[in-house]
Structure 1
Amino acid sequence: MNVGLFIPCYIDQFYPQVAIATLKLLEKVGCTVNYPLQQTCCGQPMANSGYEHLAGGCNDNFVRNFADCDYIVSPSGSCTLHIKHHLHATNETAATAIRSRIYELTEFLTDVVQVKTLEAAFPYRVGLHQSCHGQRGLGLAQMSELMAPPFSKPGQLLGMVDGLELVQLDRRDECCGFGGTFCVTEEAVSAKMGKDRVADHLRHGVHYITGVDVSCLMHMEGILKRANSTVQVRHIAEILTATL
């Protein structure tokens, strides 16, 4: 499979190890990966702030970079959702095709590659944060308010990791409060929501918190560090490529 790797700007700047882990994971499951060097922000921050009409340059650049890819994969649920639902460009035919070919990493591994085993080991208690964009926007996991069979694509992959104990939380699909620009415009509410989310993990004695969105993990990581907690955060790609 020929895959175009889309790395959101905040991962490129602050968490490059997540990008590297994603590349290793995709190659490990047999993908041929191309990283377009001219890629940049997908335009989500502008769109979330009410300035989507100013994101035309980002949109056209995204189309130029990824139009020829069979699949586009990203280790970010929120950025993937933005492209999947909101990408429009001067070349609208190409933009429409891209919207149907972009996948969040765990979605791609479970639905397209259909991974059944992983050679990974991570002998720790892990709490899974199922972020809002991934769960409710991309359908990566069942929403607890629905009377329907539960499922979790990230959870399915974590279940393939040797030694990993996936901890059951009290409120498994509660928002962490990051919300993109929400954490700036509603700082106090965002911080309180993040503290409540972190507390659920801490009550259950986790060693690590993981998820599919580095933005959510970054928010919770800040709360953990301010509390001098020994609990760490890891993007799911880092855990799925971990070895003893």
Structure 2
Amino acid sequence: MHKKVELFIPCFIDQLYPDTAFNTVKLLQKAGCEVIYNSEQTCCGQPAYNAGFWDEAKTVGANFLNNFTENNYIVSPSASCTGMVKHGYNDLFTNSIEHNKCRSVQRNIHEISDFLVNVLKKEYFGAELVGTAVYHDSCSGLRECKIKEEPRVLLSHVGGLELVEMRDQETCCGFGGTFAVKFEGISAAMAEQKVKNAQAVHAEYIISTDSSCLLQLQAYIDKHKIPMKTMHLVDVLTSGWANI
């Protein structure tokens, strides 16, 4: 019996990396899921929440809660947005009219590597990508969603891919939402350090489960014409497939 999965595609992926969204659908279907996508969904409210506009964040968050049901798993290719729902919503909806619905959604929502490895117990998807890569632990993935081994387990089954660890593995890439705008110099220096650590282990790819981190790092890579590419975990796990 197929598991029904409601798909949450964050703003970043919807606007900038639509191929990652389509690959998420393919990956979940290959894992044996029936994928449900509510086209009315919008943002989870994280930008407003992080900027201190909690009333506005609550309005957006209430819409998010209305767009998903309490009956199915909710899966997202973003640890950042998953972390917002799991933790940020405690500040917005505890003891509110949405309290019970919020708790149900929080229990059901999973970042995709967590869902594949810990819920479905699936690790191999027949992907192939030849090269050397580092996995970038996003702050939200590591600290909010407690994801560390799951992406590495999935990547260990990708044919032709050598996964290596880099120095300061758990250090932030410098994006941090509005942090990158307010503190551009510090943000750029953090991106530079992350990319240089990847270069030091001869990585050809930087892989992560957060597109915002990848955007930050790819901007530095492009600016300095470095022979390296960032890739979302989902895009790696669907690499080398015949067209389906």
Place the TM-score, normalised by the shorter chain, in its bin: over 0.9
Note the C-alpha offset of 1:68: 4.2
1:155 counterpart residue number: 152
Flag structure 1 segments of 5+ consecutive residues without an equivalent.
142-151
Q: In structure 2, what is the Cα distance between the partners aligned to 1:4 and 1:120?
A: 24
Instruction: Judge conservation of contact 1:122–1:243 (CA < 8 Å) in 2.
Output: yes
| Residue identity in the other structure for 2:176 | G
Note the C-alpha offset of 1:130: 0.6
1:149 counterpart residue number: none
Note the C-alpha offset of 1:232: 0.8
Note the C-alpha offset of 1:173: 1.2
Q: In structure 2, what is the Cα distance between the partners aligned to 1:73 and 1:235?
A: 15
1:111 counterpart residue number: 118
Q: What does the per-residue CA deviation read over 1:92-132, in whole Å, with 9 as the maximum and x for residues that have no partner?
A: 21111001110001011111011142211111111110111
Note the C-alpha offset of 1:67: 1.9
How high is the TM-score relative to the length of structure 2? 0.93
Asked whether 1:133 is paired with 2:140, we answer yes
Q: In structure 1, what is the Cα distance between the partners aligned to 2:51 and 2:62?
A: 19
Instruction: Judge conservation of contact 2:70–2:104 (CA < 8 Å) in 1.
Output: no
Q: In structure 1, what is the Cα distance between the partners aligned to 2:14 and 2:176?
A: 19
Note the C-alpha offset of 1:69: 4.4
Note the C-alpha offset of 1:205: 1.2
Identify which of 168, 180, 188 aligns with 1:171.
Answer: 168
Instruction: Judge conservation of contact 1:74–1:104 (CA < 8 Å) in 2.
Output: yes
- Taking structure 1 as reference, are residues 62 and 238 closer, same or farther at Cα in structure 2, changes over 3 Å only? same
Q: In structure 1, what is the Cα distance between the partners aligned to 2:28 and 2:154?
A: 13
1:95 counterpart residue number: 102
Asked whether 1:195 is paired with 2:192, we answer yes
| Residue identity in the other structure for 2:190 | M
Q: In structure 2, what is the Cα distance between the partners aligned to 1:100 and 1:86?
A: 14
Q: In structure 2, what is the Cα distance between the partners aligned to 1:209 and 1:189?
A: 21
Q: In structure 1, what is the Cα distance between the partners aligned to 2:24 and 2:104?
A: 23
2:8 counterpart residue number: 6
1:218 counterpart residue number: 215
| Residue identity in the other structure for 2:220 | I
Q: In structure 1, what is the Cα distance between the partners aligned to 2:58 and 2:49?
A: 11
How many correspondences in the alignment? 234
**Per the alignment, in what secondary structure is the counterpart of residue 122 of structure 1?**
strand
Q: In structure 2, what is the Cα distance between the partners aligned to 1:90 and 1:216?
A: 34
Q: In structure 1, what is the Cα distance between the partners aligned to 2:97 and 2:60?
A: 11
Asked whether 1:28 is paired with 2:30, we answer yes
Identify which of 75, 81, 84 aligns with 2:83.
Answer: 81
How high is the TM-score relative to the length of structure 1? 0.93
Instruction: Judge conservation of contact 2:129–2:240 (CA < 8 Å) in 1.
Output: yes
Note the C-alpha offset of 1:52: 1.5
Percent identity between matched residues is 38
Note the C-alpha offset of 1:91: 2.6
Asked whether 1:235 is paired with 2:237, we answer no
- Taking structure 1 as reference, are residues 232 and 69 closer, same or farther at Cα in structure 2, changes over 3 Å only? farther
Q: In structure 1, what is the Cα distance between the partners aligned to 2:186 and 2:71?
A: 40
User: Once superposed, what is the RMSD of the aligned Cα atoms?
Assistant: 1.2
